Protein backbone atom coordinates (compact mmCIF):
# COMPACT_ATOMS: atom_id res chain seq x y z
CA UNK A 1 0.00 0.00 0.00
CA UNK A 2 1.20 3.51 -0.80
CA UNK A 3 0.37 6.91 0.63
CA UNK A 4 -1.13 9.20 -2.02
CA UNK A 5 0.53 12.61 -1.95
CA UNK A 6 -0.62 16.00 -3.16
CA UNK A 7 1.84 18.85 -3.68
CA UNK A 8 0.77 22.40 -2.76
CA UNK A 9 2.83 24.51 -5.18
CA UNK A 10 5.10 24.01 -8.17
CA UNK A 11 8.08 25.38 -6.21
CA UNK A 12 11.51 24.38 -7.43
CA UNK A 13 12.28 22.26 -4.36
CA UNK A 14 9.11 20.28 -4.99
CA UNK A 15 9.95 19.70 -8.66
CA UNK A 16 13.65 18.93 -8.24
CA UNK A 17 13.83 17.22 -4.84
CA UNK A 18 10.61 16.14 -3.17
CA UNK A 19 8.58 14.78 -6.08
CA UNK A 20 11.52 12.72 -7.43
CA UNK A 21 12.03 11.42 -3.86
CA UNK A 22 8.41 10.26 -3.72
CA UNK A 23 8.96 8.51 -7.04
CA UNK A 24 11.94 6.68 -5.48
CA UNK A 25 10.06 5.81 -2.29
CA UNK A 26 8.56 2.36 -1.79
CA UNK A 27 5.48 3.47 0.14
CA UNK A 28 4.43 6.71 -1.56
CA UNK A 29 3.18 8.12 -4.85
CA UNK A 30 2.29 11.58 -6.15
CA UNK A 31 -1.28 11.81 -7.42
CA UNK A 32 -1.83 15.57 -7.64
CA UNK A 33 -0.16 18.96 -7.76
CA UNK A 34 -1.67 22.43 -7.37
CA UNK A 35 -0.73 25.97 -8.27
CA UNK A 36 -2.53 29.29 -8.69
CA UNK A 37 -2.03 29.42 -12.46
CA UNK A 38 -2.65 27.18 -15.44
CA UNK A 39 1.03 26.37 -15.90
CA UNK A 40 0.46 23.60 -13.37
CA UNK A 41 -0.98 21.40 -16.15
CA UNK A 42 2.26 21.47 -18.14
CA UNK A 43 4.31 20.76 -15.02
CA UNK A 44 2.02 17.86 -14.10
CA UNK A 45 2.55 16.36 -17.56
CA UNK A 46 6.32 16.83 -17.36
CA UNK A 47 6.44 15.08 -13.98
CA UNK A 48 3.89 12.39 -14.84
CA UNK A 49 1.48 13.51 -12.13
CA UNK A 50 -2.10 12.38 -12.88
CA UNK A 51 -4.02 15.39 -11.54
CA UNK A 52 -3.42 19.13 -11.67
CA UNK A 53 -5.40 21.78 -9.83
CA UNK A 54 -5.40 25.54 -10.32
CA UNK A 55 -6.09 26.20 -6.65
CA UNK A 56 -4.80 24.79 -3.36
CA UNK A 57 -8.36 24.44 -2.09
CA UNK A 58 -9.27 22.14 -4.97
CA UNK A 59 -6.39 19.81 -4.17
CA UNK A 60 -7.31 19.71 -0.48
CA UNK A 61 -10.86 18.76 -1.47
CA UNK A 62 -9.63 15.72 -3.39
CA UNK A 63 -10.78 12.73 -1.29
CA UNK A 64 -8.11 10.42 -2.72
CA UNK A 65 -5.19 12.42 -1.29
CA UNK A 66 -3.79 11.16 2.03
CA UNK A 67 -0.98 13.63 2.63
CA UNK A 68 0.23 16.98 1.34
CA UNK A 69 3.66 18.53 1.01
CA UNK A 70 3.86 22.30 1.52
CA UNK A 71 6.85 24.04 -0.16
CA UNK A 72 5.12 27.44 -0.30
CA UNK A 73 6.83 30.72 0.74
CA UNK A 74 7.58 30.72 4.46
CA UNK A 75 4.81 33.11 5.46
CA UNK A 76 2.18 30.78 3.97
CA UNK A 77 3.23 27.59 5.75
CA UNK A 78 0.96 28.02 8.76
CA UNK A 79 -2.15 29.01 6.81
CA UNK A 80 -2.06 26.05 4.46
CA UNK A 81 -0.91 23.55 7.08
CA UNK A 82 -3.99 24.37 9.15
CA UNK A 83 -6.23 24.28 6.06
CA UNK A 84 -4.89 20.83 5.17
CA UNK A 85 -5.29 19.56 8.74
CA UNK A 86 -8.89 20.75 8.77
CA UNK A 87 -9.47 18.81 5.56
CA UNK A 88 -8.09 15.65 7.17
CA UNK A 89 -4.81 15.59 5.24
CA UNK A 90 -1.52 14.60 6.83
CA UNK A 91 1.01 17.43 6.44
CA UNK A 92 4.71 17.57 5.73
CA UNK A 93 5.69 21.24 5.63
CA UNK A 94 8.94 22.75 4.49
CA UNK A 95 10.96 24.48 7.15
CA UNK A 96 10.54 26.82 8.87
CA UNK A 97 7.12 25.51 9.87
CA UNK A 98 6.04 29.04 10.78
CA UNK A 99 7.52 32.49 11.35
CA UNK A 100 6.82 32.62 15.09
CA UNK A 101 6.29 30.24 17.99
CA UNK A 102 2.74 31.57 18.34
CA UNK A 103 1.98 30.40 14.79
CA UNK A 104 3.43 26.97 15.59
CA UNK A 105 1.12 26.81 18.60
CA UNK A 106 -1.83 27.46 16.27
CA UNK A 107 -0.86 24.39 14.25
CA UNK A 108 -0.68 22.36 17.46
CA UNK A 109 -4.16 23.59 18.39
CA UNK A 110 -5.50 22.45 15.01
CA UNK A 111 -3.93 19.02 15.53
CA UNK A 112 -5.64 18.49 18.90
CA UNK A 113 -8.99 17.86 17.27
CA UNK A 114 -7.58 15.96 14.27
CA UNK A 115 -6.15 12.44 13.85
CA UNK A 116 -3.68 13.53 11.15
CA UNK A 117 0.07 13.67 11.47
CA UNK A 118 2.21 16.77 10.97
CA UNK A 119 5.96 17.09 10.46
CA UNK A 120 8.32 19.94 9.69
CA UNK A 121 10.66 18.93 6.89
CA UNK A 122 14.21 18.86 8.23
CA UNK A 123 15.17 16.17 5.74
CA UNK A 124 18.87 16.13 6.71
CA UNK A 125 18.13 14.49 10.08
CA UNK A 126 17.26 11.18 8.38
CA UNK A 127 20.78 10.65 7.09
CA UNK A 128 22.52 7.84 9.06
CA UNK A 129 25.64 9.93 9.74
CA UNK A 130 23.87 11.77 12.57
CA UNK A 131 22.94 8.60 14.44
CA UNK A 132 26.58 7.58 14.20
CA UNK A 133 27.64 10.92 15.67
CA UNK A 134 25.29 10.38 18.62
CA UNK A 135 26.65 6.87 19.10
CA UNK A 136 30.24 8.14 19.25
CA UNK A 137 29.30 10.82 21.77
CA UNK A 138 27.42 8.29 23.92
CA UNK A 139 30.40 5.92 23.85
CA UNK A 140 32.56 8.52 25.58
CA UNK A 141 35.21 8.41 22.88
CA UNK A 142 35.55 12.21 22.69
CA UNK A 143 34.96 12.69 26.42
CA UNK A 144 32.54 15.26 27.78
CA UNK A 145 31.03 17.49 25.09
CA UNK A 146 31.96 21.13 25.63
CA UNK A 147 31.06 22.89 22.39
CA UNK A 148 29.00 22.50 19.22
CA UNK A 149 29.80 24.65 16.16
CA UNK A 150 27.78 24.72 12.95
CA UNK A 151 27.56 26.75 9.75
CA UNK A 152 25.13 26.67 6.84
CA UNK A 153 25.67 29.23 4.12
CA UNK A 154 25.57 29.95 0.41
CA UNK A 155 25.96 33.00 -1.79
CA UNK A 156 22.63 34.20 -3.17
CA UNK A 157 23.16 35.55 -6.66
CA UNK A 158 19.98 36.89 -8.27
CA UNK A 159 18.77 38.88 -5.27
CA UNK A 160 16.51 41.23 -7.17
CA UNK A 161 14.12 38.41 -8.09
CA UNK A 162 14.54 36.21 -5.03
CA UNK A 163 11.80 35.63 -2.48
CA UNK A 164 14.61 35.10 0.02
CA UNK A 165 15.13 38.88 -0.05
CA UNK A 166 11.53 39.72 0.89
CA UNK A 167 11.21 40.25 4.62
CA UNK A 168 7.42 40.07 4.69
CA UNK A 169 7.59 36.58 3.17
CA UNK A 170 10.00 35.27 5.81
CA UNK A 171 13.14 35.93 3.82
CA UNK A 172 16.70 36.10 5.08
CA UNK A 173 19.30 33.62 6.28
CA UNK A 174 17.93 32.70 9.71
CA UNK A 175 14.64 31.37 8.38
CA UNK A 176 16.15 29.90 5.22
CA UNK A 177 19.22 28.06 6.49
CA UNK A 178 19.80 29.19 10.09
CA UNK A 179 17.02 26.95 11.37
CA UNK A 180 19.15 23.92 10.41
CA UNK A 181 22.18 24.52 12.68
CA UNK A 182 19.82 25.46 15.52
CA UNK A 183 17.92 22.21 14.96
CA UNK A 184 21.17 20.25 14.77
CA UNK A 185 22.51 21.70 18.02
CA UNK A 186 19.35 20.67 19.84
CA UNK A 187 19.29 17.24 18.18
CA UNK A 188 22.93 16.33 18.74
CA UNK A 189 23.19 17.77 22.26
CA UNK A 190 19.82 16.29 23.17
CA UNK A 191 18.69 19.31 25.16
CA UNK A 192 17.43 22.87 24.86
CA UNK A 193 19.44 26.12 25.14
CA UNK A 194 18.88 28.05 28.35
CA UNK A 195 20.13 31.40 27.05
CA UNK A 196 21.42 32.90 23.82
CA UNK A 197 22.69 35.99 22.10
CA UNK A 198 22.43 36.62 18.36
CA UNK A 199 23.74 39.23 15.96
CA UNK A 200 22.97 39.80 12.30
CA UNK A 201 24.21 41.72 9.28
CA UNK A 202 21.22 43.02 7.34
CA UNK A 203 20.63 44.05 3.76
CA UNK A 204 20.16 47.83 3.80
CA UNK A 205 17.38 47.85 1.19
CA UNK A 206 15.20 44.87 2.12
CA UNK A 207 16.03 44.59 5.82
CA UNK A 208 16.50 40.81 5.68
CA UNK A 209 19.37 39.28 7.59
CA UNK A 210 22.13 38.28 5.21
CA UNK A 211 24.19 36.68 7.97
CA UNK A 212 23.22 35.69 11.51
CA UNK A 213 25.46 34.30 14.23
CA UNK A 214 24.05 32.80 17.41
CA UNK A 215 25.76 31.88 20.68
CA UNK A 216 23.77 29.49 22.85
CA UNK A 217 24.40 28.13 26.33
CA UNK A 218 23.03 24.69 27.14
CA UNK A 219 22.89 22.88 30.47
CA UNK A 220 26.18 21.52 31.88
CA UNK A 221 27.98 24.58 30.50
CA UNK A 222 27.90 23.37 26.92
CA UNK A 223 28.18 26.12 24.29
CA UNK A 224 26.76 26.06 20.77
CA UNK A 225 27.75 28.53 18.07
CA UNK A 226 25.70 28.59 14.88
CA UNK A 227 26.00 30.69 11.77
CA UNK A 228 23.78 31.14 8.75
CA UNK A 229 24.33 33.25 5.66
CA UNK A 230 23.03 33.89 2.17
CA UNK A 231 26.06 36.12 1.59
CA UNK A 232 28.97 33.65 1.94
CA UNK A 233 30.46 30.68 0.15
CA UNK A 234 28.83 27.26 0.55
CA UNK A 235 29.19 25.55 3.93
CA UNK A 236 26.97 22.94 5.59
CA UNK A 237 28.89 21.51 8.51
CA UNK A 238 29.04 20.95 12.22
CA UNK A 239 31.62 19.86 14.75
CA UNK A 240 31.45 18.66 18.34
CA UNK A 241 34.39 19.42 20.63
CA UNK A 242 34.86 17.21 23.66
CA UNK A 243 37.46 16.93 26.41
CA UNK A 244 39.23 14.06 24.60
CA UNK A 245 38.49 14.54 20.93
CA UNK A 246 36.56 16.22 18.12
CA UNK A 247 33.88 15.03 15.69
CA UNK A 248 33.48 16.82 12.35
CA UNK A 249 30.67 16.38 9.84
CA UNK A 250 31.56 18.34 6.68
CA UNK A 251 28.35 17.62 4.72
CA UNK A 252 25.84 17.79 7.54
CA UNK A 253 22.78 19.30 5.86
CA UNK A 254 23.12 18.57 2.15
CA UNK A 255 24.96 15.27 1.69
CA UNK A 256 22.78 14.82 -1.41
CA UNK A 257 25.05 17.34 -3.11
CA UNK A 258 27.98 14.93 -2.74
CA UNK A 259 26.19 11.80 -3.91
CA UNK A 260 24.39 11.21 -0.63
CA UNK A 261 27.61 10.25 1.14
CA UNK A 262 28.12 11.69 4.60
CA UNK A 263 31.50 11.67 6.32
CA UNK A 264 32.05 11.54 10.08
CA UNK A 265 35.59 12.52 11.05
CA UNK A 266 36.92 11.75 14.52
CA UNK A 267 40.10 13.47 15.70
CA UNK A 268 41.65 12.07 18.87
CA UNK A 269 45.17 11.57 20.23
CA UNK A 270 46.72 13.05 17.07
CA UNK A 271 44.92 10.47 14.94
CA UNK A 272 42.14 11.00 12.41
CA UNK A 273 39.49 8.42 11.54
CA UNK A 274 36.92 8.83 8.78
CA UNK A 275 33.66 6.89 8.53
CA UNK A 276 31.33 7.19 5.55
CA UNK A 277 27.60 6.58 5.33
CA UNK A 278 25.21 6.74 2.39
CA UNK A 279 21.64 7.98 2.56
CA UNK A 280 18.97 9.39 0.25
CA UNK A 281 17.72 12.08 2.64
CA UNK A 282 14.56 13.16 0.81
CA UNK A 283 13.52 9.57 0.12
CA UNK A 284 14.18 8.62 3.75
CA UNK A 285 12.06 11.57 4.87
CA UNK A 286 9.17 10.59 2.58
CA UNK A 287 9.32 6.94 3.60
CA UNK A 288 9.51 7.77 7.31
CA UNK A 289 6.43 10.00 7.18
CA UNK A 290 4.50 7.66 4.89
CA UNK A 291 5.26 4.69 7.15
CA UNK A 292 4.03 6.62 10.18
CA UNK A 293 0.73 7.18 8.38
CA UNK A 294 0.38 3.61 7.13
CA UNK A 295 1.24 2.03 10.49
CA UNK A 296 -0.19 4.83 12.64
CA UNK A 297 3.07 5.12 14.56
CA UNK A 298 4.87 8.10 16.02
CA UNK A 299 6.96 10.34 13.77
CA UNK A 300 10.49 11.17 14.85
CA UNK A 301 9.98 14.94 14.85
CA UNK A 302 6.60 16.09 16.11
CA UNK A 303 4.91 19.44 16.62
CA UNK A 304 6.35 19.93 20.11
CA UNK A 305 9.86 19.71 18.67
CA UNK A 306 8.86 22.21 16.01
CA UNK A 307 7.58 24.56 18.70
CA UNK A 308 10.85 24.29 20.63
CA UNK A 309 12.89 25.06 17.52
CA UNK A 310 10.71 28.06 16.74
CA UNK A 311 11.08 29.23 20.34
CA UNK A 312 14.85 29.41 19.80
CA UNK A 313 14.42 31.28 16.52
CA UNK A 314 12.07 33.74 18.23
CA UNK A 315 14.71 34.28 20.91
CA UNK A 316 17.29 34.96 18.19
CA UNK A 317 15.12 37.75 16.78
CA UNK A 318 14.52 39.15 20.26
CA UNK A 319 18.25 39.21 20.92
CA UNK A 320 19.03 40.76 17.54
CA UNK A 321 16.52 43.57 18.00
CA UNK A 322 17.42 44.26 21.64
CA UNK A 323 21.18 43.60 21.38
CA UNK A 324 20.84 41.68 24.66
CA UNK A 325 21.24 38.20 26.07
CA UNK A 326 17.91 36.34 26.07
CA UNK A 327 16.91 33.69 28.60
CA UNK A 328 14.65 30.85 27.44
CA UNK A 329 13.44 27.40 28.50
CA–CA separation, 30 and 15 (whole Å) = 11
Strands 326-327 and 3-8: unpaired
Interhelix angle 77-86/101-112, nearest 10 degrees: 0
CA–CA separation, 119 and 318 (whole Å) = 26
Q: How many CA atoms lie within 13 A of 97 on its CB side?
A: 32
Interhelix angle 303-322/179-189, nearest 10 degrees: 120
Task: Count the neighbouring beta carbons within 10 Å of the beta carbon of residue 241.
Answer: 18
The secondary structure of 1-56 as a DSSP string is --EEEEEE---HHIIIIIHHHHHH-SSEEEEEEE-SSTTHHHHHHHTT-SEEESSH
All residues at 6 or more sequence positions from 128 whose CB lies less than 8 Å from its CB, including other chains: 262, 277, 278, 279
CA–CA separation, 207 and 211 (whole Å) = 12
Query: Burial code of 126-161, b = ≥16 C-beta within 10 A, e = fewer?
Result: bbebbebbeebbeeeebeebebbbbbbbbebeebee
CA–CA separation, 65 and 311 (whole Å) = 32
If we measure between CA atoms, which residue out of 116, 118, 102, 126 comes closest to residue 21?
Answer: 126
| Catalytically annotated residue among 78, 87, 89, 95 | 95
All residues at 6 or more sequence positions from 194 whose CB lies less than 8 Å from its CB, including other chains: 217, 218, 219, 327, 328, 329
CA–CA separation, 238 and 261 (whole Å) = 15
Query: Does the pTM of the predicted model rise above 0.95?
Result: yes
Is residue 95 part of the annotated active site? The answer reads: yes
Q: Give start and end residues of each alpha helix (H) in the chain.
A: 12-13, 19-24, 40-46, 56-60, 77-86, 101-112, 128-139, 173, 179-189, 281-295, 303-322
The H or E element containing residue 165 is none
What are the pLDDT tens digits along the chain (329 aa)?
999 999 999 999 999 999 999 999 999 999 999 999 999 999 999 999 999 999 999 999 999 999 999 999 999 999 999 999 999 999 999 999 999 999 999 999 999 999 999 999 999 999 999 999 999 999 999 999 999 999 999 999 999 999 999 999 999 999 999 999 999 999 999 999 999 999 999 999 999 999 999 999 998 889 999 999 999 999 999 999 999 999 999 999 999 999 999 999 999 999 999 999 999 999 999 999 999 999 999 999 999 999 999 999 999 999 999 999 999 97
- Burial degree of 262 (CB within 10 A; 0-12, 13-18, 19+): buried
Amino acid sequence: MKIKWGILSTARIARTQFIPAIDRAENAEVVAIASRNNKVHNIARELNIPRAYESYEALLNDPDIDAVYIPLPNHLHKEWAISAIQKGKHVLSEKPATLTVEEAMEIKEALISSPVKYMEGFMYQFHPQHERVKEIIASGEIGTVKQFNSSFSFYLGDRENSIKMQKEYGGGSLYDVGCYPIHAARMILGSEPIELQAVSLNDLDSGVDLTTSTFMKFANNTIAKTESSIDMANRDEYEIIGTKGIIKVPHAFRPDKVGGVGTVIVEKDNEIREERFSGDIYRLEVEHFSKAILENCKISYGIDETINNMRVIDACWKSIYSAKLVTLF
